[in-house]
A and B are shown apart, each in its own frame.
Chain A
Amino acid sequence: MNKYQSRREFARKFGKLAIVLPVAYLSVSLARKATATGYVWQIDPFKCTQCGLCKTNCVITPSASKCVHAYEMCGYCDLCGSYLRQGVKTISTGAENQLCPTGALIRKFVEEPYFEYTVEEKLCDGCAKCVKGCADFGNGSLYMQIKQDLCKNCNECSIARKCPSKAISRVSAAMPYLPKGNSKKNQGK
């Protein structure tokens, strides 16, 4: 090898070291603080303003954010503020009187005067109309959550970017839900 090539070899090896050292330092200092479980995205139901952007901004269709029900908070009322829309002509359970545009809120008679309301997940598209109705006129037992089996766990959540009240943030994958009501029961453990 002539002197030009050996000089170039030396420069190459030196450059390699000069690059590896800061990268190694950077990665070690980051790895010390790294988490093993990673993050998922979740909606804080106490910050959510039910604006409806969850439905349109999720990268998958239908949206991974859906309405869930904290049964322990529900009043089980006949006149439900989230089942019936405002301004109906006659109060009945006809489809034209329901607030949910996809009919995902199912009403079932339990006993006098209580009715159980459940959310049919396959029909819910995350528009948050029922959540708003429940918050305005009821107990607030319906709330929005991102379903972790549907969510693609994007590096940056598209809904989080648009959320006007900054309700969506990263949470540890070990505790992926921010529930209302009895938190232990609903953590999905």
Chain B
Amino acid sequence: MKKRILYIIVCFLLIWNTSLIAQQQRFPKPDFESGYAYPEYQMPLPRNPVWEYVDVAVLIGALFATAYFAIKKHSRKGIIGMSVFSLIYFGFLRHGCICSVGSIQNVSLALFNEGYTIPLTALLFFIIPLLFALAYGRVFCAGVCPLGAIQELSGIKPVILPKGIEAILAAVPFIYLGLAVLFASTNSQFFICRYDPFVGIFRHNAPYTMIIFGALLLLAGIFLNRPYCRFLCPYGVLLNIFSRFSDKHVAITPAGCTNCRLCEKSCPYDAIIPSDTIQNSEKPEKSRSRFIIFILLVPIISGAGSFIVYNLSSTLAGVNSNVRLAREIRLEHESGIQAVSQAAITFKESGESEIELFKTESGVIEMYKKTTPWVGLFLGLSLGISLVSLTMRTERTEYKPHKGKCYSCGKCFEYCPVEIKT
């Protein structure tokens, strides 16, 4: 009887805390007499880092080429050609990762976490398209981004949205950017990568939800061209801002605008600003006072945005897995609801300190509390500035693309009858 109890106790101890005994040498090293040699096994190496720099070089080359085709050559065929090349290279060959859109997260993570040093290529993928946008406009969107390329090539029958709906939907990329930076900088999640609709198509493998999302977006994109670019892309927010300051930007006409109005409905993204020579019938005092009111509203809206998002800190912190685990464990202590998630069971079995977990949790929540006011400020500021721009009215004598919204795709080129006599 005693022996059996001892046997049961030993078995119990062996089965409990398996991870701790994973290193235990239960059985001795074999004593080979036949001259058996342990097999030599070479672990396969990852892709040579040189290729990442080749990708950066291709990125720069493609950006220069697209800028050349869009601005100098004024050729939509060239832009389409670049789109196809980028779809094949950055999309299907490089499997769409790492992309400039996702590099925002790497930069955010590196800025606020000492434990992570950003790979140089990720930083270059972030900066280079922005610099080109500052110089030449959104040529990245036109012919280099694989996500843009796949949408551009499938957008066949454009339908123009009513301006109100478009304005509301255009707010989503700002929120997406704010959340992506928030979640990446607190090391909670790479939000953009998780909800990337097209990367599954590029690497021929994805959970079915991602494939459905991508397919729906492409189907919608047949009519609502570039849906991800317009209503989701967080990098597009940065490109929008940078592109507004560009010197050389793509123009609808190869020479000067004759105000023939043929390009008015040609842009699927409604990015062409028509000329406006109608005299302002409103009293100047009224427009001036409206302008000043909205300028004064900017700090109020920014402050309100900051306040609102700050108060959402604790809800948003739930995205972080450490916070979720800590909350589950605390709930188990307080109300007896069993913590049954895999992470909780592993945590309890591992015997790690709960105090450490709660300390980690409060550290993460502190970080959220520090970052959310800035995210809210950014959102409020963007809203305020866009409202102010609505109150401004300038006299325009030419049809020009809106530097921020125009993707430099060149669809408007064929509508313009102006030709340069060679």
Contacts and interface: CB of A to CB of B under 8 A. Distances in A.
Same complex? yes
A23 B120 CA distance: 15
Given A12-B245, A35-B117, A20 B134 contact: yes
A59 B203 contact: yes
A30 B122 CA distance: 11
Contacts of A166: 321
A76 B30 contact: yes
Given A16-B245, A161-B321, A164-B346, A147 B44 contact: yes
B346 A51 contact: yes
Contacts of A47: 19
B127 A23 contact: yes
Nearest to B39: A71
A149 B46 contact: yes
B190 A155 contact: yes
Contacts of A45: 22
B350 A16 contact: no
A59 B208 CA distance: 11
Contact of A40 (B23, B46, B343, B346): B46
A138 B27 contact: yes
Given A19-B242, A139-B25, A161 B189 contact: yes
Contacts of B185: none
Interface residues of A, number: 77
A111 B36 contact: yes
B129 to A, nearest CB: 12
A153 interface: yes
Given A37-B119, A155-B102, A188 B18 contact: no
A38 B48 CA distance: 10
A139 B189 contact: no
A126 B208 CA distance: 20
Interface residues on B, range: 35 or more
Interface string B335-352: 000000111011101100
Contact of B46 (A76, A148, A165): A148
B193 interface: yes
Nearest to A34: B120
Contacts of A95: none
A136 to B, nearest CB: 5
A188 B42 contact: yes
A15 interface: yes
B97 A4 contact: no
A42 to B, nearest CB: 10
B28 interface: yes
B165 to A, nearest CB: 29
Interface string A177-189: 1010000011110
Nearest to A79: B27
Contacts of B32: 110-111, 114
Interface in B9-23: 14-15, 18-19, 21-23
B421 interface: no
A9 to B, nearest CB: 10
B46 to A, nearest CB: 4
Interface string A35-68: 1111110000111111101000001110000001
A27 interface: yes
A40 to B, nearest CB: 5
Contacts of B116: 170
Contacts of A71: 38-39, 41
A19 B134 contact: yes
Nearest to A39: B119
Interface stretch (B103-111, B250-258, B412-420): B103-111
Contact of B245 (A19, A76, A110, A162): A19
A176 B42 CA distance: 12
B194 interface: yes
Given A110-B36, A111-B34, A173-B46, A4 B118 contact: no
A34 B105 contact: no
Contacts of A36: 49, 119-120
A176 B46 CA distance: 7
B24 A140 contact: yes
A77 interface: yes
Interface of B: 14-15, 18-19, 21-30, 32-34, 36, 38-47, 49, 52, 95, 97-98, 102, 105-107, 110-111, 116-123, 126-127, 130, 134, 189-190, 193-194, 200, 203, 205-207, 241-242, 244-245, 321, 341-343, 345-347, 349-350, 394-395
26 contacts: A12-B245, A20-B134, A27-B127, A30-B118, A33-B117, A34-B118, A34-B123, A35-B119, A48-B19, A50-B18, A114-B30, A114-B32, A135-B22, A136-B21, A152-B95, A154-B97, A154-B193, A155-B106, A155-B193, A156-B105, A164-B347, A176-B46, A179-B43, A187-B43, A188-B42, A188-B43
Interface of A: 4, 12-13, 15-16, 19-20, 23, 26-27, 30-31, 33-40, 45-51, 53, 59-61, 68-69, 71-77, 110-111, 114, 116, 118, 132, 135-140, 145, 147-156, 161-162, 164-166, 170, 173, 176-177, 179, 185-188
Given A71-B41, A153-B97, 15 more contacts: A30-B118, A33-B117, A36-B119, A48-B19, A74-B30, A116-B36, A135-B18, A136-B15, A140-B23, A148-B45, A152-B97, A155-B106, A156-B193, A164-B341, A188-B45
